[in-house]
Structure formats: structure tokens, C-alpha cells
Chain A
Amino acid sequence: MNIRNRLRTFKKEIEPQWKESKFTLHQIRKSPLSVIGIIIIVAFAIIAILAPTIAPPVGRDPFMVWKDGYFLTPQPPGSPVTRNTIAIRIGWTTHIFGTTGGEVGQVDIYYGCIWGTITAFRIGITVTVISLILGVAVGLIAGYYGGAVDELMMRFTDIIFAFPGLILAMALVMTMPPTLAIDAFFWIILAIAFIAFTIIGGRILKVSSGISLLLGVAGSAIIGVIYIYALNSPSLWTQIFPLNNLDKSLIALTIVGWPGDARLIRSEVLRVKQEDYIEAAKVSGCSDLRIILRHILPNAMYPILITASLGLGGIVLTAAALSFLGIGSPLGYADWGQMISFARSYVNIGMTYWWTFFIPGIFIFLFVLGWNLLGDAFRDVLDPTLRRR
């Protein structure tokens, strides 16, 4: 009896959410573009998960694409593996998508494309998630409190926006030190910054304890990054982390990307803040943290999801462009952009060596298309202001 009663109230409670979810699913099924997008993303996810099975690694590092000796010209799709004895022993008999390369040796395109899927997911998801976290934290605080914090943030994003993204990323990758050094002072400074920012939040800005903690985390993170950048001589307890070009471009793309997210979230917060239910929450005595997390964030969620999906494609494109220019991933790494950069010298001959640029390009294109279709469909399907029209 008791359980049945509880179940009934539970059912009643989740009824509107259940209905909304069903409606959303129905909308998704009705829009063919979003279905195509989902299919593409799922297919790539399956390729990434099955990579060790459908493309067994040859060397010690599975992300280094194996080579089949040195030929003058790229080998067409379906040509036999002849020179790499280790690969033959593992079971590679043909170059399914042919080979590409040049002075680095003949690289297997199929292997590069399959393992490049993992690289693409890694770049896209890492950069999107980190810039979203930074952007959400800064955007929420700036949008909700306004005033000096907001003004400072807007000017800062203005400055980042004034740079062409690709050039800023290139300059950052180029100037970033080859290693990341963290020493004892780093942790001390981090602790001091955290305490200082939390006190500033609690005592001077008079915000609630949760928000001042958030401010402490964000502030100390920024100070920490500046310290790491400024540190160039080893000192007490220095730990060195090597950075390869891929890590560098991940960091650079995050630095270039988060101000955009912060701006979008800020504008969403400004929109939601004016709603009556926020006033109601304030009047009924909710804390700032509760209003931000329970009332503003869920209502600003859909635009965030849309941007994340559309942004992920863009990030993969920029990363591919960096690789294409030769500063994205280390030479020989499984990466679509690098695969195409190998093909540069074969373009002017026409379609003779079509597979060297066509096949890796199709992978990038479909991957980005999938995320863009998904994001575009989300816009119509999820946005509550558009969907019921």
C-alpha cells in the first residue's frame, strides 16, 4: 500500500518530464537530418571502439601509423603489403585504402583513418568539455552578477575574438614550451589564490558561500595557468611533463575556444534572469547558488548543448587544419589532417592518386557533418521556444 502510494506520487511527479522526453524523441524521429547525424556519430563511435580489432596495431604505439617501406608513388587501394614483415605476420595482407606519404615512407591510409577516429574524438571532446566547463563557470558568474566582473570578462573575450582563431592557435602552439614544469611554489600559489579569491567572494562581493568557492576555483585556475606559463627556470621539486604538438594544440584550441562559450552562456543567463520564476525564487529566499544551479542552468542548457555539438565539429576542423599545416600532431601520428597534408604533392597531377586526399577528407567531412547535423537538429528539437510552433 505504502509502496504503491509512493509509486503513484512518483509517477505523477515525473509525468511532465516523461511526456516531454517522449515528445523530444518523437521530434527527433520526425526530423530526418537529426537521424542521419545520430547514425553518423554512432558509426564513428563504433569505429573508434573497434579500432584495435578492425585495425590491429603493428608497432608499440598504436597511434603511430605503420609504414610499408619506401615507394616513389602512393600505392592504390587494394594493393598487397610487401615490405613490412611485422605487419604481414600480424595479418595485414592488403592496403585497403592504399598508401600515402613520401619522404616519411608509405603510410597505410586505412590504419591512419581508423585510429584517426579516436584522435578526432579525443580532440573534439577534450577541447569542447574543458572550454564548456570554463565557459559555463565564467559565463554564469558574469551574467548573474553583472557589474565589474561582467565588464572585465566582455573586454577580455573581445580581445580574444579580435584574433583570427587559427592564427592565435598557431602562435600559441609555436610559442608553447616543449615541457610543462610544475614545482612546489605552484601548489603554494594555487592555495593562496584559492583562499584569496574565496575571501574576496565572501567578504567583499558578499556572495553566497557556494559561489565564492566557485570563484576561488576559477580564480586559482587562472592564476595557476599564468604561473605555469611564466615559470621557465626549474626550482624546488620541479616535475616536468613533456608536451607533444597534439597536447599543445589541445591547449591552444581550448584557449581560443572558451571565450565564445562564456559569451553565449552569459547571454543565455541574461535572458533567463529576467524571467518571473527567477524573481519568485529570489523572493522565496533561495540562495544565489541554488538559483544559478537549479533555476538558471537547466533553462540555459539547450543552447549550451547546441553550441557544444556545433562547436565540436568546428574544433575538429581547426585541429585538422593545424595538422594540415604541419603543427598539429607529431609526424606519423594517426590523424586525418596529417594524412591529407601528405597528399599535397599529388594534387596537381589530377585524380591519378585520388585516394590520398579523397579518403581521409571523407572521414573528416562525415565526422564534422554528423556533429553539425546533430547540433542543427537539436536547435529545432530541443529549444522549448521553437519546438511547439
Chain B
Amino acid sequence: MGLGTFIIRRVLLLIPTLIGVTILIFAVTMLLSPIQRAALYVRSPQQIRELPNIAAQYGLYDPAYVQYFRWLQQVLSGNLGFSITTNDLVLNQLLIRFPRTAEIVLPSIPLIIIIGIYLGVKSAVHRDHIIDHSTRFLAIFGWSLPTFWLAIMLLAIFYGYLGWFPPGTSGRPLGGAAVEFVTSSGSGWHTYTGFYTIDGLLNGQPWITLDAIKHLVLPTMTLVIINIALIIRIMRSSMLEALGKNYIITAKAKGLRNKEVINTHARRNALIPVITMSGLLTAGLLTGVIITETIFSIDGLGRMAANAALSRGVPDIPAVLGFALFACIVYVGANLVVDILYAYIDPRIRLG
């Protein structure tokens, strides 16, 4: 099977999963009464008073499968409803907030992977020595930390006590002056990418970039400390497996230096599982930084979902659903990318 056929087959397999995901998302909403679900169709805050009429008007008392196909049609045409907690269309909010989440997550990914691979290799090579024990303990240590507690402690120390790295202002990873500059119409600020670090440079305002970096240090640090354990663990075990293979013995018997054996022969082969993990980690972080965003006051996607889930009175279902849909697409997409990458690197997958 060629790589092209493999990709096509893999993409086709996505369809049942995506259909299942939409059914599950829809099933969760069906647990709510028609009145509560009518909020999906509200366009402005004023309409909230007319919810019972809207429920009847949009046929929320129809059989479930009729409603499901109607809902699917709306989602496919890009209509995700109106979110009460953000007072905006859900799709708009997803587009605005995605770069903010990505700005925290994307810098942490290379850090996690590079440090994780380095420590994992060290740990495997020095198996059962002090380096191995301490690395593994550090990994378990980070993995056991509650995210919100670590974030609060970092904030209390580096902001409350030392005053170095502040949390965001009005939902942006920026200080007060920078937010004023960015939001005022006279300043000539233009949003190119939504990433403040990049937009600062593109607008010729490097101080905004610096300010944004200062605000992104702590969230990134939180993510790195907690998630590095995953990569260390996978790298260690796959490296141990690779070191036990016959080709390593061959390489050593040939008289290669130990460093060369580890770096070129063992590590390269041990990297494959790490690629899988990295893809899943990226997807997981893009959709799962709810707590980090909440504590560092950055209005990303996770915070939108958290606020929506916590809203009292009329529940903000559209925002939660929009987020869930986004999360599923990211996850499914990451799986696809990983599979293709995997097939590209390891010919056994697509040939066997």
C-alpha cells in the first residue's frame, strides 16, 4: 500500500468517528429541557425572554433524530449558536480565542519534547543509577501536581512575592498599558495573527512582544512541569527496549563508540513512540488548558468552556458544545497527522 492510499483510507475511517462524536455531543444536549436548549437559537441577549416561543418555533419538541439532522446541518453551515457568557456568537469566540490558547501551548510543546527526550535518554542509559531514580522521581513529582495548585503557587511566588511575571489583564496575556494600546482605535494596532508576540513585531511595537512574553512565562512553565513526565516515561521505556535489541549489540561489537551507539542507533529507533505521544499531547493541551487559563486570566478556549459550564440560570450550552466540537476535531486531526507521520517514518506500518 502506498502512502497515498494509506492516507485516503485513514481519512475515510475518520468519518464514522466524527459522526459518533456529533451524536454524543447531541445526546448530551438532549438531556436538557427544550426551553434550555432554545438558547442555542438565540441571536441576541434581548431574545432570552422569549425562550418558550423560540423552542416551539425551532421545533425543539420534535423527535430526536429530526432534531439531530437539523442541528448537524446548522453546524456544517458554521452556525454554532450564541453564547450567553461571552455575549457573542460561538464561532466568533472560537476564532478570537484560539490564538490565545495556542500562544500558551505552542511554546511549551518544543520545551516538553526536547527536555523530555533528553531526560528520558539519560534515564534509560543510566538505568537504576542515581540519575535514573532522580529523573523518574521528578517526572512522577510533576505528574502528581494538581495543575491549579502549581499555577497558584507559581503565581503567588513569581507575581505576588517577586513581582516578575504577572497574570493577564482583561483576558489577554498583556499588562494594563499594552491592553489599552491594543484596544484603543487611535493606536493603529492591527491584528494579523492574534498572537500578541508576533503581532507586536508586525506592528512595529516590540515592547508589546516583550510584555506578552513576560505574561506567557508562567503558563508555559506550568504546562512544561506537569506534562514533561509523559515524554520522559515513554522515551525511557522505548529507549530501554531499543538498547536491548540485537542491532545495538552488533553496533557495539563493530567497535563503535558508546556515544555513537546511543545517539544514532538506539535513540533514532526509540523516537517513534515519542512522535505519537507528542501529537496527542499537542491536541490534549490545545483543548485542555482550562485550569491554566482560568488562573492566569487568559481568555482562551478552555476558559470559555469553563465559564460556560459554570454559568447559573440559563446554561450556556452553545459555548460548551462549540468547544467540544472544536476539541474533537483537533483530537481527531492530531490522530490523523500522527498516523500519517508514523506511516511515513516507519514503512512497516503502511506495508504490513
Q: How far is the CA of A380 from the CA of B50 in the complex (A)?
A: 62
Residues of A within 8 A of B167 (CB): 348
A350 to B162, CA, bound (A): 8
Report chain A residues within 8 Å CB of B152: 340, 343-344, 347, 357, 361
| CB–CB A350/B160 < 8 A | yes
Q: Which of A28-42 contact B (CB under 8 A)?
A: 32-33
What does the 1/0 interface line of B136-175 toward A look like (CB < 8 Å)?
A: 1100110111111100110111011100000100000000
Q: Which of A4-12, A48-56, A133-141, A168-176 contacts B (4 or more CB under 8 A)?
A: A168-176
Q: For the complex, is A142 an interface residue (Cβ under 8 Å from B)?
A: no
Measured CA separation A159–B22 after assembly (Å): 9
Q: Which residues of B contact A246 (CB under 8 A)?
A: none
- B149 touching A164 by the CB < 8 A rule? no
B320 & A170 in contact (Cβ 8 Å cutoff): yes
Task: Give bound CA distance, A321 to B295, whole Å.
Answer: 12
Q: Do residues A325 and B156 form an inter-chain contact, with CB atoms below 8 A?
A: no
- B309 is an interface residue with CB less than 8 A from chain A: yes
A159 B288 Cβ-Cβ under 8 A: no
Tell me whether B28 and A172 are in contact (CB under 8 A): yes
A contact residues around B24 at 8 Å (CB): 159-160, 163
Alpha-carbon distance between A254 and B221 when the two chains are bound, in angstroms: 31
How far, in whole Å, are A337 and B28 apart by their CA atoms in the complex?
26
Give complex CA distance A32, B144 in Å. 18
Residue contact B157 to A164, C-beta cutoff 8 Å: no
Answer yes or no: A306 CB below 8 A from chain B CBs. no
A351 to B159 CA separation, bound complex (whole angstroms):
10
Q: A350 CA to B166 CA in the complex, in Å?
A: 11
Q: Please, how many angstroms separate the alpha-carbon atoms of A361 and B295 in the complex?
A: 15
**Alpha-carbon separation in the docked complex, A160 to B331 (Å):** 11
Instruction: Give which listed residue, A161, A229, A365, contacts B146 with CB less than 8 A.
Output: A365
Q: Is B67's CB within 8 Å of the partner chain A? A: no
| A183, CB-defined interface residue at 8 Å | no
Question: Are the C-beta atoms of A358 and B137 separated by less than 8 Å?
Answer: no
Query: Per DSSP, are chain A's interface residues mostly helix, strand or loop, or mixed?
Result: helix
A110 CA to B16 CA, complexed, in Å = 51
Q: Across the interface, which residues of B come within 8 angstroms of A218, CB to CB?
A: none
Contact assessment for A351 and B161 in the assembled complex, using a CB-CB cutoff below 8 Å? yes
Of A163, A173, A349, A365, most B-chain CB atoms within 10 Å: A163
- Of B31, B156, B290, B305, which one neighbours A354 at CB under 8 angstroms? B156
Verify A369–B161 contact, CB threshold 8 A: no
Contact across chains for A170 and B156 when beta carbons are under 8 A apart = no
Q: Which residue of A lies closest to B140 (CB)?
A: A372
Known: A171-B324, A327-B310, A348-B160. A358 touches B143 (CB 8 A): no
Q: Which of A354-383 contact B (CB under 8 A)?
A: 354, 357-358, 361, 364-365, 368-369, 372-373, 376
Which B residues from 310 to 344 make CB contacts under 8 A with A?
A: 310, 315, 320, 323-324, 327-328, 331-332
The answer to whether B17 touches A155, judged by C-beta atoms less than 8 angstroms apart, is yes
Residue with the greatest number of chain B CB neighbours at <10 A, chosen from A347, A358, A373: A347
Contact A365 B145 (CB under 8 A): yes
Q: Report yes or no: A350 in contact with B331, Cβ–Cβ below 8 A.
A: no
Contact between B288 and A164, CB atoms less than 8 A apart? yes
The answer to whether A177 touches B156 (Cβ under 8 A) is: no
Inter-chain contacts of B305 with A (CB < 8 A): 167, 170
Q: Specify which chain B residues have a CB less than 8 angstroms from the CB of A325 in the assembled complex.
A: 290-291, 294, 306, 309-310
Check B32 for interface membership: any CB of A closer than 8 A.
yes
Given the complex, which residues of B lie within 8 Å of A167, measured CB to CB? 287-288, 290, 305, 309, 320, 323-324, 327
From A158, A173, A327, A348, B155 is in contact (CB under 8 Å) with A348
Asked if A112 lies at the interface with its beta carbon under 8 angstroms from chain B, I say: no
**What residues of chain A lie closer than 8 Å to B141, measured between beta carbons?**
369
Residue interface bits A170-192, CB-to-B below 8 A is 1, else 0? 11111111000000000000000
Q: Is the CB of A166 within 8 A of B288?
A: yes
Say yes or no: A368 contacts B144, CB within 8 Å. Answer: yes
Determine the interface band of chain A, counting residues with CB < 8 A from chain B. Answer: 35 or more
B107 interface hit (Cβ, 8 Å)? no
Contact of A365 among B21, B144, B155, B288 (CB under 8 A): B144
A179 to chain B, nearest CB (A): 13
**With A167-B287, A167-B305, A350-B161 in contact, do A159 and B156 touch (Cβ < 8 Å)?**
no
Partner of A33, one of B137, B288, B315: B137
Is the beta-carbon distance between A357 and B327 smaller than 8 angstroms? Answer: no
Tell me which of B23, B156, B324 contacts A351 (CB under 8 A). Answer: B156
- Chain A residues contacting B149 (CB-CB under 8 Å) are 340, 357, 361, 364-365
B81-125 vs A, Cβ < 8 Å mask (1 yes, 0 no):
000000000000000000000000000000000000000000000
- A303 contacts the other chain (CB 8 A): no
Point out the residues of chain A lying under 8 angstroms from B70, CB to CB.
none
Q: Which residues of A contact B324 (CB under 8 A)?
A: 163, 167-168, 171
Asked if B284 is an interface residue, CB under 8 A from chain A, the answer is yes
Q: Does A324 contact B (CB under 8 A)?
A: yes
Is residue B20 within 8 Å, beta carbon to beta carbon, of the partner chain?
yes
By beta carbon, the residue of chain B nearest A151 is B16
- Asked if A320 is at the interface (CB within 8 A of a chain B CB), the reply is yes
Quick check: B16 and A163 within 8 Å, CB to CB? no
> Any chain A CB within 8 A of the CB of B133?
yes
Asked if A317 CB lies within 8 Å of chain B CBs, one says yes
**Contact in complex: B32, A175 (CB < 8 Å):** yes
Cross-chain contact A174 with B309 (CB below 8 angstroms):
yes
How many Å from the CB of A248 to the closest CB on chain B? 12
The answer to whether the Cβ of A326 comes within 8 Å of any Cβ in the partner chain is yes
What CA separation (Å) do A323 and B37 show in the bound complex? 26
Q: Is A162 in contact with B21, judged by CB distance below 8 angstroms?
A: yes
Given contacts A313-B144, A361-B153, A373-B140, contact A163 B327 (CB under 8 A): yes
Q: Kindly state the separation between the CA atoms of A364 and B147 in the bound complex, as whole angstroms.
A: 11
Q: Which A residues touch B140, using CB under 8 A?
A: 33, 369, 372-373, 376
Chain A residues within an 8 Å CB radius of B32: 175
Best-surrounded residue of B143, B144, B323, B332 (most CB of chain A within 10 A):
B144
A321: which of B31, B159, B291, B332 is its contact (CB, 8 Å)? B291
Q: A155-B20, A343-B152, A369-B141 are in contact. List 20 more A-B contacts (CB 8 A).
A: A155-B17, A158-B17, A163-B21, A163-B327, A163-B331, A164-B290, A167-B324, A170-B309, A172-B28, A175-B29, A325-B309, A327-B310, A344-B152, A348-B155, A348-B167, A351-B161, A357-B152, A358-B153, A361-B153, A365-B145
Residue pairs across A and B with Cβ atoms less than 8 A apart, 10 shown, are A155-B17, A159-B24, A163-B24, A163-B331, A166-B291, A171-B324, A175-B29, A321-B291, A350-B159, A350-B161
